[in-house]
C-alpha cells in the first residue's frame, strides 16, 4: 500500500491527519501513517460526526452524547495505534461533511499526509452512500494513504457507528426506542 505523494512532499511526514470511523481499515491506515512519521512528527486522529436533522434541542443533546462516546473511541484507537505512549497523537472531533472537514482541518494544521480506511463499496453502494476515501483522494491536495477494506473491519465499523447513534438517540429521546 503506497500513498500517492503530493508534488511538494519531501521526506517523511511531520504532520499527518488520520481520519477514522473506528473501522479496522481506518485504524490500520492511522497506524501505518504513525509509523511513517519522522521522529518529531505528530498524528492527529480525526473523527467527523456528520450532521443529522433533529429539532435544535434534540440535536444539541445528540451531539453531546455522540461526542462523549466518540471521545472514548478516539482514546481507545490512539492506544491501539501507539500503545500507552500516545504523546505523538492528538485527538479531534469535527462536525459536518467528512471530506470538507478533513481537508479544511488538514490545511489549517499544515498536514503533509491524510490517511483513511476504505470499505470496498461496490459501484451501487458508492452511488447510494458515497465513499469518503474516494472523495478525499479526488479533492485533497495532499498525499493520501488509503488502507484496503477488511470484512471484519467493515462489520465492526458499521456496528460501532450504529451503537453510537443509538446511544445518542436514546439519551436525547428517552422512551422513544
H/E stretch holding 151 reads helix 151-172
Q: pLDDT band at 108, cuts 50/70/90?
A: very high
**Mean residue pLDDT across the chain:** 77
Mean predicted confidence (pLDDT) in 129-154: 67
pLDDT score of 128 more than 90: no
Tell me the per-residue pLDDT of 33-76, one tens digit each, with 9 for 90 and over: 898 888 889 999 999 998 788 898 888 898 899 999 999 999 99
pLDDT score of 136 more than 50: yes
pLDDT at residue 173, rounded to an integer? 55
Q: Give the C-alpha separation, 16 to 6, whole Å.
A: 13
pLDDT score of 172 more than 60: no
Q: pLDDT band at 12, cuts 50/70/90?
A: confident
Q: pLDDT band at 135, cuts 50/70/90?
A: confident
Angle between helix 98-109 and helix 132-139 axes, rounded to 10 deg: 40
Q: In the sheet that 42-49 helps form, which strands lie side by side, from edge to edge?
A: 89-95, 42-49, 15-19, 113-117, 143-147
Q: Give the C-alpha separation, 19 to 156, whole Å.
A: 16
pTM (2 decimals)? 0.71
pLDDT at residue 51, rounded to an integer? 78
Q: How many CB atoms lie within 10 A of CB 102?
A: 27
pLDDT at residue 107, rounded to an integer? 92
DSSP string of 32-81? HHHHHS-TT-EEEEEEEE------HHHHHHHHHHHHHHHHHHHHHHHHHH
Amino acid at each position: 500500500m503506497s500513498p500517492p505523494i503530493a508534488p511538494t512532499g519531501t521526506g517523511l511526514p511531520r504532520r499527518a491527519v488520520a481520519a477514522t470511523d473506528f473501522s479496522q481499515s481506518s485504524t490500520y491506515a492511522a497506524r501505518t501513517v504513525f509509523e511513517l512519521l519522522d521522529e518529531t512528527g505528530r498524528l492527529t486522529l480525526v473523527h467527523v460526526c456528520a450532521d443529522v436533522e433533529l429539532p435544535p434541542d434534540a440535536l444539541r443533546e445528540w451531539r453531546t452524547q455522540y461526542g462523549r462516546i466518540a471521545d472514548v473511541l478516539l482514546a481507545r484507537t490512539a492506544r491501539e495505534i501507539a500503545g500507552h505512549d500516545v504523546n505523538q497523537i492528538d485527538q479531534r472531533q469535527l462536525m459536518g461533511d467528512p471530506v470538507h472537514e478533513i481537508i479544511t482541518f488538514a490545511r489549517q494544521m499544515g498536514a503533509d499526509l491524510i490517511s483513511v480506511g476504505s470499505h470496498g463499496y461496490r459501484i451501487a453502494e458508492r452511488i447510494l452512500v458515497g465513499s469518503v476515501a474516494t472523495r478525499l483522494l479526488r479533492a485533497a491536495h495532499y498525499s493520501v494513504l488509503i488502507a484496503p477494506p477488511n470484512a471484519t473491519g467493515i462489520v465492526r465499523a458499521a456496528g460501532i457507528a450504529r451503537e453510537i447513534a443509538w446511544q445518542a438517540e436514546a439519551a436525547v429521546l428517552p422512551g422513544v426506542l
